[in-house]
Amino acid sequence: MRYITPEKILRMRFEDEPRPHWDAAILCFRDLTGSRAVVAEVGAAPTGQRALWGKYEFPGDPHVFEVRIGEHLVAVVGQCLWGGPQASIYVEELACLGTRFLIGIGCAGALAADLPIGCPIIANAGLTTDGTSRAYTDEPETRAAPELMAAAQEAAHALGVEPYPVRVATVDALYRETDAAVRAWAALGAHVVNMETTPFYAASAACGVSSLWIGHVSDRVVQEAWEEWGGHEDAVPVTARIAFETLKRVL
């Protein structure tokens, strides 16, 4: 038995008010600037309604947006910055609101010198290296939904982009990415590291939702040196276009 369920929380949140229903959603695992770039690229408009955990809506500071693809309504959730717990909460709540397809847009630190900053990437798998994922699966890795992966590769190719397929290690402690940890992730076959991909996939699988994470390399940890963030802002709108075209195909 679970003591707290998304259905209970949504019932408390909306009471007698109508709930939103989204067939798909884009989660922006990005800061304010990156989230705004995604929203602008897909042409989404703010809902003005508090719908998700911690996403309070104030005039001039919207967090949840929506856009139509044909007859389908798609949510765009900005500033999903806090890693696995937040990613899994939103997956659970969106699944409860009827969402069937989820695309995460984010960035990751490369663990190899052959992945330059700004390089487009697509996560075919996430390694279970974090705490949140272990609440959802005992498997050593989680995987992207095949139908979304195929649609994204087709969409990217049509846009003249060829994302590099990667295996992602997920970290909980941002300030504890040590050289020993990097070597351990690389030994498991990880190409990049971020804070959300594996629990995003693990929660989606547990909730019966198809999900895919796409993004770009934002920094690199190679040979005991950190190549800092910067010079990759143009990659966000490209990723947003791939995400939108992917959803057009699956919806």
Please, what's the b/e burial string for 56-93 (b: 16 or more CB within 10 A of its CB; e: otherwise)? Answer: eeeeeebbbbbbebeebbbbbbbbbbebbbbbbbbbbb
Q: Give this prediction's pTM.
A: 0.95
Residue 15 CA to residue 33 CA, distance in Å, equals 33
Domain spans, the chain: 6-250
What type of residue is 69? I
Torsion of CA 192, 194, 197, 203, to 10 degrees: 140
Q: Would you give per-residue pLDDT tens digits along the chain (251 residues)?
A: 889 999 999 999 999 899 999 999 999 999 999 999 999 999 999 998 899 999 998 888 899 999 999 999 999 999 999 999 999 999 999 999 999 999 999 999 999 888 999 999 999 999 999 999 999 999 999 999 999 999 999 999 999 999 999 999 999 998 988 889 999 999 999 999 999 999 999 999 999 999 999 999 999 888 777 777 776 778 899 999 999 999 999 99
Q: β-pairing, 24-28 with 72-77?
A: parallel
Residue 207 CA to residue 92 CA, distance in Å, equals 7
Q: Which CATH class is domain 6-250?
A: alpha beta
